[in-house]
Amino acid sequence: MKNLELKIPPPAVTLLLAIAMWLAASASGALAFTLPNRLVIAIAAAALGVAISVAGVVSFRRAKTTVNPTKPGAASSLVATGIYRLTRNPMYLGLFLVLAGWAIYLSNAVAFAGPLLLVLYLNRFQIVPEERALAAKFGMSFDDYRRRTRRWI
């Protein structure tokens, strides 16, 4: 399974899951439910996700470090300011919220597996290898950051 580590960019995984959620929801109408204000809630979750992800990208750009999720060893600096004071993975948290907004919009129980699968995939194949690379590159600075800042929220 190590061959999947850092191979598929998280936005691509998110898009694939979004498509799978739509297909699964379409095929399982019996699991659909009515959610009052679903459009408002879905848009709010997705907008919050986009804002959090953009804040992560902006922080990386300001620090002049790479945002390429397949090459964490290319990081030129450890970013621990801005949104990164609250979460070590704001871009991934944002993707999760966008996918959760999509699940809310679809209003089908099976769709809610998508955001959960995203978290499981990212933890195993993206975040753990990234953290290994960052620990190797930044040593105690990364260890200190990891101790004081949660992985997700």
Q: How far is CA 93 from the centre of its chain?
A: 4
pLDDT tens for the 153 residues of the chain, in order = 789 999 999 999 999 999 999 999 999 999 999 999 999 999 999 999 999 999 999 999 999 999 999 999 999 999 999 999 999 999 999 999 999 999 999 999 999 999 999 999 999 999 999 999 999 999 999 999 999 999 999
Q: Which two tokens stand for residue 119?
A: 């978290």
Residues in Cβ contact with 132 at an 8 Å cutoff, skipping those fewer than 6 apart: none
What is the C-alpha to C-alpha distance for residues 87 and 68, in angstroms, rounded to an integer?
18
Residues in Cβ contact with 40 at an 8 Å cutoff, skipping those fewer than 6 apart: none
Instruction: Identify the pLDDT of residue 146.
Output: 98
Residue 124: CB atoms within 10 A of its CB come to 13
pTM, two decimals, is 0.97
Instruction: Identify the pLDDT of residue 148.
Output: 97
| Domain segments of the chain as ranges | 9-24+37-148
